[in-house]
Structure 1
Amino acid sequence: MRSIWKGAIAFGLVNVPVKLYSATQSHDAPLHQVHDEDGGRIRYQRRCERCGEIVEYRNIAKAFVDGDSTIMLTDEDLSTLPSEKSHEIEVVEFVPREQVPLELYASTYYLEPDSKSPKAYVLLRQTLQDTDRMAIVKFAMRQRTRLAALRVSGDVLVMQTLLWPDEVREPAFDVLDTEIKVSDLELQMAAQLVESLATDFEPDNFTDEYQEQLQQLIQAKIEQGDTFDTEATFGEQPAAEGEVIDLMEALRRSIDSKRAAAQADPQQNVGS
């Protein structure tokens, strides 16, 4: 893993240097948008509505619209904000773990000690374990001030960003305002159903069936030769993505081999 941010946890007078790592990754098969007639890649361009030119990322600024006025904010402007310059994870308070509502949780990150001696890291980790609490912290990253919960998972400090309270909507469902009666028999039968499915949670018992089926579909299309030339569709890939080019070339050779075998033996693809 590669760290995405460096800073330090301010734990009273104790300073805990840490590196931040994303704790999650997507397993979804990367799908691109293409023209259904010829397989051509559909690309989105950053075009200026005023001059019509295609704009590079380095020339894109942010703006706030205030009625008839537009205030432009450059990266240099935003970098002057005090919170953006800070690389400190400030511990605001320690709270019981069950007091943070689940709907506030957002992204999850691992924290690694970033010093020759991890003693301060271990001290904070052990303190959280012994007190059975987690720390509520504030920090700035990617031009946003963030709220997060700092807790222990095994031997590692885990930080989970939290939504701000005004980012969570209130559930207002009129149908639940009316009194709904549930009979004792219905409750008893529901409890029996719960008991029949009761077990300990084992994450490894669950798989993403859609992605598995999608991978099977992709593989079936490859085996049947139902493909198009990647370079013609997506263009020549950058040199840094050489491994991808090698993989695509290997797939292409595999397809050519299967096509040649199918032509030599027409019965090979029968029923596929």
Structure 2
Amino acid sequence: MSSSSPPRAVWTGALTFGLVVLPVRLYSATEEHAVRLREMHKGDGGRVRHRRVCERDGQELGLEDVGRGYELPDGRLVPLTDEDLDHLPLPTRHTAQVLGFVPLADVDPISYSGKSYYVGPAGNAAERPYTLLAAALARSGAAAICRVAIRTRERLAAVHPHQGTLLLQSLLWPDEVRDPGDLAPSTPVTERELELAELLMRELAGVEAAELRDRYREALEQLVDAKITGGQIEAPPQPEPAGDLLTMLEASVRAARADR
């Protein structure tokens, strides 16, 4: 979070564990830099725009004329205003209640839903319990599992220290995680292949995350430039399995050592 401009809280409430009430604010911990392509008419290159049209009378609506509603089984819509939703009888709208503590390593990575929030204390009175919870979690290697409603959904979440700050990461509900079934093959590997694979992992240990970047935008810009100028671009070669596994592992270890 930048110190030049104060971040905007996306949720304000209290994190409770036992009888301890910790007033907190949540701030978005991530931001997307995705490249967004525009829709266009293939025939003449005109920009395609989506309009809000009422199904009943065909009237085109402005954003100020559009509300939200809950659809009943018979298709009728029950209008719900922001004020209605503010009075939703859901305790987790303003309280993230800790359900229990588990080792952070035991949280299945597939459960993380991709939404992460920095947790900040809300007011001076919250600083001491905040520091206590962060220190206790750091010392024990645990995560606090809670449920919290952010925007329009209630979710499970894991709260744990991250670079000296508490981080809340939303989790999928158990019934949202699919079973992999029988995707994993049962083909055995040899002890020598396993030893070489572990050796290759040691040779390739570590990733310089600060040097990584999303190269999609660069590739897209090259493609657009080629389309404008009539130039050609070469597709990168696609890796293909070649040779037996043991030979490929041995060659990979040699290449990794040569690159160091």
TM norm structure 1? 0.70
Give CA deviations for 1:19-77 in whole Å, capped at 9, x if unaligned: 211111112234322335554321112223332222444533233342x4545251354
Which residue of 2 is the match for residue 112 of structure 1? 120
Amino acid at match of 1:86: R
C-alpha displacement of 1:212: 2.8
1:151 aligned onto 2:160: yes
Q: Is the 8 A contact 1:29 1:215 kept in 2?
A: no
1:169 alignment partner, SS class: coil
Distance 1:95-1:73 versus aligned 2 partners, 3 A rule? farther
Q: Is the 8 A contact 1:84 1:144 kept in 2?
A: no
Select the residue among 201, 208, 213 that pairs with 1:202. 208
Which residue of 1 is the match for residue 104 of structure 2? 97
2:124 alignment partner, SS class: coil
Distance in 2 between residues matched to 1:215 and 1:16, nearest whole Å: 48
Distance 1:65-1:134 versus aligned 2 partners, 3 A rule? same
Q: Which has the higher helix share?
A: 1
Distance in 2 between residues matched to 1:123 and 1:175, nearest whole Å: 43
Which residue of 2 is the match for residue 41 of structure 1? 47
Select the residue among 74, 78, 84 that pairs with 2:80. 74
Give CA deviations for 1:194-234 in whole Å, capped at 9, x if unaligned: 3332x22331132212123335566x58x98xxxxxxxxxx
Q: Is the 8 A contact 2:67 2:79 kept in 1?
A: no
C-alpha displacement of 1:137: 1.1
Select the residue among 168, 191, 206 that pairs with 2:198. 191
Which residue of 1 is the match for residue 180 of structure 2? 171
Distance 1:114-1:217 versus aligned 2 partners, 3 A rule? farther
Q: Is the 8 A contact 2:69 2:79 kept in 1?
A: yes
Which deviates further from its counterpart, 209-218 or 44-53?
209-218
Q: Is the 8 A contact 1:89 1:139 kept in 2?
A: yes
Which residue of 1 is the match for residue 147 of structure 2? 138
Amino acid at match of 1:80: H
- The alignment's C-alpha RMSD in Å is 2.7
Select the residue among 57, 60, 78 that pairs with 1:54. 60
Which residue of 2 is the match for residue 31 of structure 1? 37
Which residue of 2 is the match for residue 126 of structure 1? 135
TM norm structure 2? 0.72
Q: Indicate the structure (1 or 2) with the bigger Cα radius of gyration.
A: 1
Amino acid at match of 1:204: A
C-alpha displacement of 1:141: 1.9
Distance in 2 between residues matched to 1:11 and 1:124, nearest whole Å: 9
Gaps (5+ residues) in structure 1? Answer: 225-272
Which residue of 1 is the match for residue 220 of structure 2? 214
1:161 alignment partner, SS class: strand
- Count of residues in correspondence between the two structures: 218
Amino acid at match of 2:100: E
